[in-house]
Amino acid sequence: MPRYALKVEYDGAPFAGWQRQADQPSVQGAIEDALARLEPGPHTIAAAGRTDAGVHALGQVAHCDMAKDWDAFRLSEALNFHLKPLPVSILVAKRVDDAFHARFSATERQYLFRLISRRAPVTHERGKVWQVQHPLELEPMQEAARHLLGRHDFTTFRASICQAASPVKSLDELRVEAFDIPHGREFHFHVRARSFLHNQVRSFVGTLERVGAGSWAPDDVKTALDARDRAACGPVCPPQGLYLARVGYPQDPFA
């Protein structure tokens, strides 16, 4: 059966997450339903990461097996037609080797978190960012983020329902930058690793926001990390500012 890699963009707001669920809408379910319109019968796709409810994607990667030998461009066009009007888009499809697996072949995942600091409520970006009304300082957050880089036991930043076998992970990048916007500032948190624990990125951002607000000192983040205790974590920020930005592979399946 021919296998195809799909690069997927979506707005997570209407969905209960990526993973197919019996009684709630999911991104996986939407794509599998569209595939069934092209080739009747059950379809099961796999993705590089199972994003939670409300989390978005700029470059999620999934793969599907088809009975017919599709032209990759026509497959993406047909899927986009049947996905309408849902906020899910197949950016590109590519025929790949049978050994390719969207999840297990991936060597890194990159996330972007968007946070806006301004007094007035956001309008155009509603549902796409986390907004706080108080000012934030960039440099203390950058200093605090450096404590999290490298290989650590991230129990403090791990959800209680996380199913990962170990809390030990290597964090390759946690970069914070800021941009002036009308009447406020937007902060971007760029996070990169091979894999992540459940709620790890949102736990990082929620904790760093406390540093930017002045409630925590940068060194408090190292103290929280060393505690290896979920109770030592700062607040977990809401999902709507989080984007799965990119998935890395030894060879780019879309090249």
**What radius of gyration do the chain's Cα atoms show?**
19
The residue length of the chain stands at 255
Give the active site residue among 11, 23, 33, 52. 52
CA dist 8 and 93 (Å) reads 9
Catalytic status, residue 229:
no
CA–CA gap between residue 89 and residue 73 (Å, rounded): 13
Report yes or no: 51 and 57 within 8 Å, Cβ to Cβ: yes
Give the span between the Cα atoms of 17 and 29, in whole angstroms: 10
Reading the block at residue 178, the tokens are 């800021």
The rounded Cα 157 to chain-centroid distance in angstroms is: 16
Q: What is the DSSP string of 141-175?
A: HHHHHHTT-EEEE-GGGS-TT---S-SEEEEEEEE
Number of other residues whose CB lies within 10 A of the CB of residue 10: 25
- Kindly give, in sequence order, each residue whose CB lies less than 8 Å from that of residue 198, ignoring residues fewer than 6 positions away: 158, 159, 161, 162, 163, 164
Whether 16 and 28 have beta carbons less than 8 Å apart is answered as no
Query: 136: which DSSP letter?
Result: -
Catalytic positions: 52
